[in-house]
Amino acid sequence: MKEIIALLRRHGIQATPQRIAIAECVLKADAHPTADAVWEAVKRAHPTVSRATVYNTLHLFCERNMIKSQILKEGIAVFDRNTGPHHHFIDEGTGEIIDIPWESLEVIGEESLQGFEIREYQVVIRGRKKTG
């Protein structure tokens, strides 16, 4: 709670009850919520928050590099508290998104691609999480 406020301050964001609630939700470990999922969650504590506030706040967080938005699913953006480079696994059954640590995979050959100025890259894996 105190840390969240400090974190917001550190990113030049004025702390408000709504923003704190949104930050708490989206910074939860291993969460990749959609904007609407954040809205639903935040509404439990702040029943009056508007969708617009949630969207605006998430964009603000992205601009300030607190979180990153990822386009991995059909037509919807999900938010990722992990702003460093990492890969993603997408469960095609459940839609669940799982971070894969950067060191788990190695990509070879990207430096030798001609004609591209690479800013970032990631491996996107689709399949199913093994049950059990």
Applying CB under 8 A, the residues found at the interface with a copy of itself are 71-77, 89, 92, 100, 104-110, 112-113, 115-130
Q: Give which of a copy of itself, DNA, none residue 7 binds (C-beta under 5 to 8 Å, depending on kind).
A: none
Token pair for residue 19? Answer: 């923003």
In angstroms, the Cα distances linking 64 to 11, 58, 84 are: 6, 10, 14
66 binds DNA (CB under 7 A): no
- CB of residue 97 vs a copy of itself: minimum separation in angstroms? 12
* Given 3, 6, 16, 40, the residue binding DNA (CB under 7 A): 16
What is d(CA 86, CA 102) in angstroms, rounded to the nearest whole number?
Answer: 4
77 binds DNA (CB under 7 A): yes
Scored b (16 or more CB within 10 A) or e, 44-66 reads: eeeeebeeebbeebbebbbeeeb
Q: Give which of a copy of itself, DNA, none residue 111 binds (C-beta under 5 to 8 Å, depending on kind).
A: none
79 or 87: CB nearest DNA: 79
Using CB atoms within 10 Å of the CB of residue 35, give its burial: 0 to 12 exposed, 13 to 18 middle, 19+ buried. buried
* Given 1, 29, 44, 52, the residue binding DNA (CB under 7 A): 52
Name residues contacting DNA, limited to 21-50 (CB under 7 A).
34-36, 46, 48-50
- CB of residue 58 vs a copy of itself: minimum separation in angstroms? 14
What is d(CA 14, CA 23) in angstroms, rounded to the nearest whole number?
Answer: 12
